[in-house]
Amino acid sequence: DTGVSQDPRHKITKRGQNVTFRCDPISEHNRLYWYRQTLGQGPEFLTYFQNEAQLEKSRLLSDRFSAERPKGSFSTLEIQRTEQGDSAMYLCASSVLAGFEQYFGPGTRLTVT
Partner 1 sequence: DAKTTQPPSMDCAEGRAANLPCNHSTISGNEYVYWYRQIHSQGPQYIIHGLKNNETNEMASLIITEDRKSSTLILPHATLRDTAVYYCIVRVGDDKIIFGKGTRLHILP
Residue 41 found at the interface with partner 1 (CB under 8 A): yes
Residue in 93, 94, 110, 112 binding partner 1, rule: CB under 8 A: 93
State the minimum distance, in angstroms, from the CB of residue 44 to partner 1.
Answer: 7
Range 64-71 contact pairs with CB under 8 angstroms and sequence separation of 24 or more = 67/34, 69/32
CB of 14 to partner 1, least distance (A): 24
Site for partner 1 in 21-40 (CB under 8 A): 31, 33, 35, 40
Q: How far is the CB of 16 from partner 1 (least distance, A)?
A: 28
Binding flag, residue 74, partner 1 (CB under 8 A): no
Q: How far is the CB of 82 from partner 1 (least distance, A)?
A: 22
Return phi, psi of residue 86, to 5°. Answer: -80, -10
Q: Report in angstroms the alpha-carbon separations of 112 from 32, 49, 81, 84.
A: 25, 27, 10, 5
List C-alpha distances in Å: 91 to 34, 59, 71.
6, 17, 20
Residues that bind partner 1 (CB under 8 A): 4, 31, 33, 35, 40-45, 48, 56, 91, 93, 95, 97-107
